[in-house]
Amino acid sequence: MSENAEIKWYVVHTYSGYENKVRDSLLKAVENNGMQDRITDVQIPVEEAVEIKNNRRRVVQRKLLPGYVMVKMEMTNETWYVVRNTRGVTGFVGSGNKPLPLSETDFAAIFEQAPQVRTDIEVGDSVRILTGLFENFSGKVTAIDAATQRITVTVPMLKRETEVELAYDEVVREN
């Protein structure tokens, strides 16, 4: 690696669904060509998400940017050639033929997202509350806010309807 070489993150476009194969092939090509000091890291941006389906929680990994792989490298003719000619790579992200590096803040923003929770509960469903003051109360879902991951449930209490705001994992759907 030359003294003034800069190792930066670049975004590589791949065929959708080939991200893992591209990462593995690229790492093997780097090893075979002895370029570990010039291509230092290959990442696929994924997020861990909690899905609540049929009242069961499970953690799944989803690709944040399907069809893209991040490569931390020194941009030279040799490294460009190795990456560009990896099976499944369609090109670099950039203007024209010039790949543009990602800033560290952009890279951090991609990889530092809070885990998402998804649920199969819908407005109008009957649910049972699992925790808190209203534990074991049943009610109807009146609103779902995916951004804050909160569910509003109307609970009958003392002959009146009371709205309660709860997290996704504080309720289960009743059959």
Q: For the chain, what are the domain ranges?
A: 7-116, 121-173
Region of poorest pLDDT, from 65-74, 94-103, 104-113, 159-168 = 104-113
pLDDT at 103: 83
Report the chain's mean pLDDT, rounded to a whole number: 86
Higher pLDDT, 168 or 38: 38
Choice among 21-25, 82-86, 118-122 with the minimum mean pLDDT: 118-122
- Residue 30 clears pLDDT 90, i.e. is over it: yes
Please give the pLDDT value at position 127: 92
CATH code, 7-116? 3.30.70.940
The CA–CA distances, whole Å, from 114 to 66, 78, 106 equal 18, 37, 15
Residue 51 has pLDDT above 50, yes or no: yes
| pLDDT reading at 145 higher than 70 | yes
pLDDT of residue 1: 47
Q: What is the pLDDT of residue 82?
A: 93
More confident residue, 148 or 74: 74
pLDDT average, residue stretch 158-168: 90
Read off the amino acid at residue 123. Answer: V
pLDDT band at 5 (very low <50, low <70, confident <90, very high): low
| Fold held by 121-173 | SH3 type barrels. (2.30.30)
Residue 4 has pLDDT above 60, yes or no: no
pLDDT at 135 over 50: yes
Residue 173 CA to residue 49 CA, distance in Å, equals 20
Name which residue leads in pLDDT, 5 or 37: 37
For residue 173, what pLDDT band results from cuts at 50, 70 and 90? confident
Helices within the chain (DSSP H only):
19-32, 77-84, 104-111
Other beta carbons within 10 angstroms of residue 42's beta carbon come to 21
